[in-house]
A and B are shown apart, each in its own frame.
Chain A
Amino acid sequence: MSLMQTFLGRRSRALACAVSLPVVLALSGCATAHSPDPLESWNRGVFSFNETVDVHVLKPVAEGYVKVTPQPVRTGVRNFFGNIGDVWSSVNLFLQGRLKEGAASTMRVAVNSTLGLGGLIDLATPMRLDRFNEDLGQTLGVWGAPSGAYIVWPLMGPSSVRDSANFVTSMTFSATTLIDGAREDNLARLLNVVSTRAAYLSATDLLDSVALDKYAFTRDAYLQRRQSLIDQGRTPAEVEEEEEAPEPRYDLPETEEEAAAAAEAASAASAPEAAR
């Protein structure tokens, strides 16, 4: 397995560069751990456009969907699309060299596709064959490709240079692969979108209220989450080796007394800091 990872590691770094370099150059986005969002002003524009589309179209449709369909139907729809996603997840697990998990994920698809009536019923989860949700962006990350600049795509939403690879694959590989005809194809896509949005109705309401700046909150959570997903796919040693991003800051005064003391000390020497 380590041989395989070494092999994959080399190939992938080259591949990742080939994929991300032209895009990075085109956008002249140069992301670092300290400024992961060089395209912020463009991103903010797209973000608010996406928000508008969501408020006026997607969210109302999703709410309507919840009203007119009974819960078991919605669960069935979610399971069906989830099962298709699991196929791609399995492929990515193998690409990451996680053979055991890849096998478990494949078994999951097999169980749900047959006993679970083509994926409508999720029998695998109660059997402790859990879902993995691996995508190509994560695989590239495990192989060593950096995230690159944060990008918000119109309609597609938060992504990064690296994670944009997901759109290519998810367009060619999805439920619609199984369906003939453009009309059915589009219906399936639409249903998938609405079903997913419906599942998160209460969660997004909450986000609206807690985030002081929804754009920054979304971005930071997205980037952190993607990194943590990638770290799960690697050994701790590999993670440590690549750990360049600074740990979150907690080195501030802890108790009121300490804080007061530190504040006094700081005010004495604060001139250079303030200038900065």
Chain B
Amino acid sequence: MSHSRRFFVRVVSSALVAVSALGATQAGAQTAPAQATAPVPAQTPEAFIQSITNEVMATVKSDKAIQSGDLRKITAVVDAKIMPNVNFVRMTAAAVGPAWRRATPDQRLRLQNEFKTLLVHTYAGAASQVKDQVIEYLPSRARATDTDVVVRTVVKGKGDPIQLNYRLEKAGNAWKVYDVNVLGAWLVQTHQSSFAQEINASGIDGLISKLAERNRQLVAKNAAN
């Protein structure tokens, strides 16, 4: 008799996770420009995130092809506006875990590429959801001298608000994003255990080929739609 209730809870929990995946890439996507252009004087972390977010959201909203999931265009946006503001080596290294230390430079490069492609695919799914969301910035807990901070935001649109946080490091005069938290779960941490499983079972090359295979499936699925 309580089955439907059980369904409900199950659905909610899995949906939360799903939305987190969605938001994660959205966030990844929203992490973009600022120091790519010029050596600007140190911004506050909030201003940095805000400028990236605004620019990426404006680009997505103004381009129908991006909204409908055009992979080539989305990849271009990610490369131009997001990657310069992300310490992607650090993100990939953290997701891969201790095995990163024994990966060869070539393996590291391939891991980064495949991981990035996977995140781009996620973003392709999320791009169509970018509409009239408003992003609120929560009061910062960081001190002005901190070089490792968390920027906390809430995305408000239709439905329940989505908690979206960014973890940043200060490299020289510029900030770089190195993890994203959606609905309480950190992106890197959430990928860690499945990456570790794959490495334990079939080594670093096994993880690379598994990621590559998943990406090929996603491309095929995208083409079919």
Contacts and interface: CB of A to CB of B under 8 A. Distances in A.
A192 interface: yes
Contacts, number: 222
B194 A216 contact: yes
Q: How large is the interface on B (under 10, 10 to 19, 20 to 34, 35 or more residues)?
A: 35 or more
Contact of A189 (B5, B161, B184): B5
A225 B16 contact: yes
A4 interface: no
B107 to A, nearest CB: 11
Contacts of A192: 4-5, 8
A253 B18 contact: no
A216 B25 CA distance: 18
B188 A217 contact: no
A50 B7 CA distance: 9
A261 B53 CA distance: 35
A188 B94 CA distance: 45
Contact of A204 (B18, B141, B161, B197): B18
Contacts of A155: 3, 6-7, 10
A224 B12 contact: no
Contact of B160 (A131, A209, A212): A131
A228 B184 contact: yes
A133 B160 CA distance: 10
B185 A221 contact: yes
B93 interface: yes
B14 A224 contact: no
B5 A220 contact: no
Nearest to A75: B158
B161 to A, nearest CB: 7
Contacts of B175: none
Interface string A241-268: 0000000111011111001101100110
A130 interface: yes
Given A131-B160, A158-B10, A250-B179, A200 B125 contact: no
A190 interface: yes
B93 A212 contact: no
Interface string A148-184: 0000011111110000001100110010000000100
B108 interface: yes
Contact of B17 (A197, A217, A229, A252): A217
Contact of A202 (B6, B129, B179, B194): B129
Interface string A192-232: 11001101101111110111110011111110111111000
Contacts of B217: 209
A157 B13 contact: yes
Interface in B97-145: 97-98, 100-105, 108, 118-119, 121-122, 125-126, 128-129, 141
Contact of B179 (A156, A213, A248): A248
B5 A253 contact: no
Interface string A48-66: 0010001000100000000
16 contacts: A153-B10, A159-B13, A192-B5, A196-B11, A200-B14, A203-B21, A220-B185, A220-B189, A221-B20, A222-B13, A229-B184, A250-B90, A253-B100, A259-B100, A263-B101, A270-B101
Interface of B: 1-22, 25, 87, 89-90, 93-94, 97-98, 100-105, 108, 118-119, 121-122, 125-126, 128-129, 141, 159-161, 163, 178-179, 181, 183-186, 188-195, 197-198, 210-211, 214, 217-218, 221
